[in-house]
Amino acid sequence: MNPTTRPTTQSPASETGPEQLCAGWYAAHGEAVYNYLRFQLLAPDEAEDLTAETFLRAVRAAHRFDPTRASAQTWLLTIARNVLIDHVRSARARRHVGLDELRDLAVDAPSPEERMLRREEVASVLDAMAGMSAEDREVLSLRFGGDLDIPEIAELLSVRAGTVRTRLWRALERLRERMK
């Protein structure tokens, strides 16, 4: 994710309507929320539905957002995490990622062959992640999908930064093993 586009903390103005609030938050943080969810879901449609659910919940709970306690992105990812937990409780068993389910992958490769290789590579990553524990998937998704750094993940999960670091490195090791 391009660091220059990293959204900044934004507090809801009381005079802002729900649609403006939703539009503003989505413009600033929609990509991070979507990518966090997408790293844990095998289909773009599911990730889009849960992204929408996340922002609708956020608008409803806007009065509870305190920018002095957490950034908007961390707060929104906390909501997304809860939305995902609710979804997983009722979701079907995970399945294999098909290449047609990667239509939302951002690929800059110039040739069709390179784009296909890129899709296959990402499909293998998501396949490997799908078989990992929920804890591993979560820390990887927050890091690489939600674009959070270790202190932010620690804040969101209410654990120490050292704990996150250990979880993250171990999750990466396990992911690497699964991809061999």
Partner 1 sequence: MSPDRVPPDLDALDRRLRAVEFEPRASLGAELEGRARRGERALGAVSPLQSFAVRSALALVGIAATAALVVGVTPPPHHVDMCCQDLVGNQDANDGMVLNLDPRGRVTSMLLYEDLDGSKSRTTEDRVLFVRGSDIALDTAAHEDGHRTHVQCCEDLDGEGQADDGVLVMGHLPDQIHFAALIRNEGPHQVLR
Binding of partner 1 by 121 (CB under 8 A): yes
Task: Count the residues in the chain.
Answer: 180
Please tell me the count of residues contacting partner 1 according to CB under 8 A.
53
For the bound state, the minimum distance from the C-beta of residue 134 to partner 1, rounded and expressed in Å, comes to 18
Cα 152 from Cα 144, distance rounded (Å) = 13
**Judged by CB, which is closer to partner 1: 17, or 67?**
17
The yes or no reply on residue 130 touching partner 1 (CB under 8 A) is: no
Cβ neighbourhood burial of 31 (10 Å; 0-12, 13-18, 19+) = buried
Query: Does 162 contact partner 1 by CB under 8 A?
Result: no
Q: Under the rule (CB under 8 A), what is the footprint of partner 1?
A: 1, 3, 17-19, 21-23, 26-27, 30-31, 34-35, 38-39, 44, 47-48, 51-53, 55-57, 59-61, 82-83, 86, 104-106, 121-122, 125, 140, 143-145, 147-151, 165, 169, 172-173, 175-176, 179
